[in-house]
Amino acid sequence: MMDIKNNETISLKSILVSYLLHWKLILVVGFIAVVLAVFYLIFYPKTYETMARVQIQDENNPLSSGGLALGEAAGIMKSFGLGGISAGSIVIDDEIATFTSNHLLSEMIYKLGLYAEYTRPWSFYRLYEGKPLTVTADSATIFGLEYEIEFKVVSSASKISIKAMVESDDDRKESFQFTSLPATVKMKEGEFVFNYTLLGESAPDYTLNVTVRPLTSVSDDLVNEFTIEEVSKTSNVIEFITTDYEKRRAKDMFNMLIALYNKQSQEYKNELAIHSIAFLNARIDSVTNELSVIEKKIEDYKAKNRITLVESDVQYYVEYMRELQTKMIEAEAQSHTIKLMDSFVKDKANRYKIIPSLLSTGQESETNPFSLYNQTLLERERLIRNSGEDNPLLPSLNAQIDKLREGVYQMIDNAHQSIQLVINELKEKEQSLFNRMGEIPQQERIYVDYKRSQEILQGMYLILLQKREEIVLSIAQTKEKAKIIDPAFNMPRPIAPRKLYAAIGIVFFTLLITVGWIYGKKQLTDLIEEFQKANK
């Protein structure tokens, strides 16, 4: 055993000695490694980590408010999924997916002009604040761009020369000459406006390369650069992290992304609210007409039967049945609401109209049939508004809407059956009380039915008015969904270049090259010797 250890020690020493005999090679490679490390430390731009944090706030959707009920109606409505108190649940993964969506990133890129990348000749580093000019275009041109366009701008005191190359199938090239800026370059892809920045006005002689890229290409790169994740599973805080050698660029991107997210959320909420207000106004008019009719019936009935003091005559009855009648009014009001919604949804004229608030499920999540149906209808409206009804995606989207509508029908039917069971049970209890009150004159009982119908309609009227007021107030609210906890900020110390990385690189580069060279040379020598022996 001792002989084996001694042999291993001798073998290791012989290997080390054989490598140290090539000390000149080690010094040369080490010197090269040091030079490369110095170049890395000098020329690699200082790169900083940028962070931001937001809290996704749980805001009640204006279409799912629980404030519609009268008395105990809130409990009944919630139990049947008809406008109960909204859970307002937040799915952080959905919010992160929204932040990283191509639509939101493209909007951010367009707002900041990041579709145009500026570089100096023989440089790989893009300019953000230090660029002498800017290239802009209208939204239709940028959002419709399919190929990269490279501009080479040569500016002097007398003229500005712009050469453009489109990286398409034919690699088209064009040249333009201008005496001053701003200037408009008109191409097949659209019009691009070149204009000086303050830096360009003070230094007119320069050469600059500008690459205008499609938004989807830029957004794909940014998705890989960004790290957007939840801070913990128990919080609604989202953290944004990225690295960039342009500190202002990273901060602007995060701040703009958060601002556009809040704007999009507010616009979506307002759009739903506007549709709901239009529905509520029509229903209020309808209930007002019905209320006028029932009040006229009460007036005629009292005059016909010479009833003047019915209220005092039936006081005992009212007191005795107060609790039961309150529940009956609430249940009838909900049944009336369901009927209104049923007629609205099944009306062919409303085939592609938003389902308003009175049938909120109380759980505004993406798996809810009403939420999915409304979101798909809004997507259809945006599609028609952006590209007209000839869009090839429209038939498939209509088919998806028709399929989702079946789920809406089913939920309305289930709610109607459930509330009808409650109404039948309440009527049985009421009939039992009526049977014990046989001495009450018939006209008085008819009068009570009329009064109940009047109260039901009055309850419906108050529900609709209250709901409309809530939605109007929600539009005026400016509560941001993504509350900024930490605006975008740069970490004080750069993460690159790092002296430690340079030192580690020197060691690994020296060892890897020298050991690889010596080992490879020895293997090659042994292979040649074996080949020569084999040929003898």
pLDDT in tens, 221-279: 999 989 999 988 888 899 999 988 888 999 999 999 999 999 988 888 888 888 888 88
DSSP state of 230: E
pLDDT at 136: 93
E strand or H helix that includes residue 150:
strand 149-155
E strand or H helix that includes residue 136:
strand 133-136
In 305-393, alpha helices (H):
310-313, 315-346, 369-387
Distance CA 194, CA 209 (A): 13
- pLDDT value at 364 more than 60: no
Flag the least confident range among 2-11, 27-36, 500-509. 2-11
Q: Among candidates 49, 123, 33, 126, which has minimal Cα distance to 501?
A: 33
Q: What is the pLDDT of residues 410-445, one digit of tens each?
A: 888 888 888 888 888 888 877 776 765 555 566 666
**Which pLDDT band, with edges at 50, 70 and 90, does 214 fall under?**
very high
Side-chain-side CA neighbours of 8 within 13 Å: the count stands at 4
* Whether pTM exceeds 0.85: no
pLDDT at 175: 92
DSSP state of 60: -
In this structure, the chain runs to a length of 536
Joined tokens for residue 220: 């794909």
Q: Among candidates 180, 199, 107, 187, which has minimal Cα distance to 151?
A: 187
Flag the least confident range among 76-80, 202-206, 210-214, 317-321. 76-80
Q: What angle do CA 476, 481, 487 make, to 5 degrees?
A: 120
**Which pLDDT band, with edges at 50, 70 and 90, does 134 fall under?**
very high
Say how many C-beta atoms besides its own lie within 10 A of residue 83's C-beta: 27
Say how many C-beta atoms besides its own lie within 10 A of residue 103's C-beta: 12
Give the list of residues 6+ apart from residue 362 with CB closer than 8 angstroms, or none.
64, 66, 78, 81, 83, 84, 85, 86, 87
pLDDT at 28: 80
Give the list of residues 6+ apart from residue 154 with CB closer than 8 angstroms, or none.
160, 161, 162, 207
Distance CA 453, CA 118 (A): 73
Query: Is 39 within 8 Å of 468 (Cβ atoms)?
Result: no
Distance CA 307, CA 299 (A): 10
Query: Is 521 within 8 Å of 515 (Cβ atoms)?
Result: no
Residue carrying structure tokens 């406006």 = 193
Residue carrying structure tokens 């009640």 = 60
Q: Which of 136-145, 271-280, 344-353, 457-466 ranks highest by mean pLDDT? A: 136-145
160 three-class SS? strand
The mean pLDDT of the chain is 78
**Which pLDDT band, with edges at 50, 70 and 90, does 317 fall under?**
low
Distance CA 443, CA 450 (A): 10
Distance CA 324, CA 322 (A): 6
- pLDDT value at 491 more than 70: yes
Q: Among candidates 247, 254, 225, which has minimal Cα distance to 488?
A: 254
pLDDT at 62: 45
First to last CA, the chain: 41
Joined tokens for residue 245: 């050698």
- Mean pLDDT, residues 457-478: 80
Higher-pLDDT residue of 156 and 118 is: 118
> What phi, psi does 126 have (nearest 5°)?
-75, 150
Q: Among candidates 219, 232, 225, 231, which has minimal Cα distance to 260?
A: 219
Distance CA 519, CA 242 (A): 42
Residue carrying structure tokens 């650069």 = 225
Strand residue runs (E) in 172-292: 173-178, 183-187, 190-196, 206-212, 227-230, 237-244
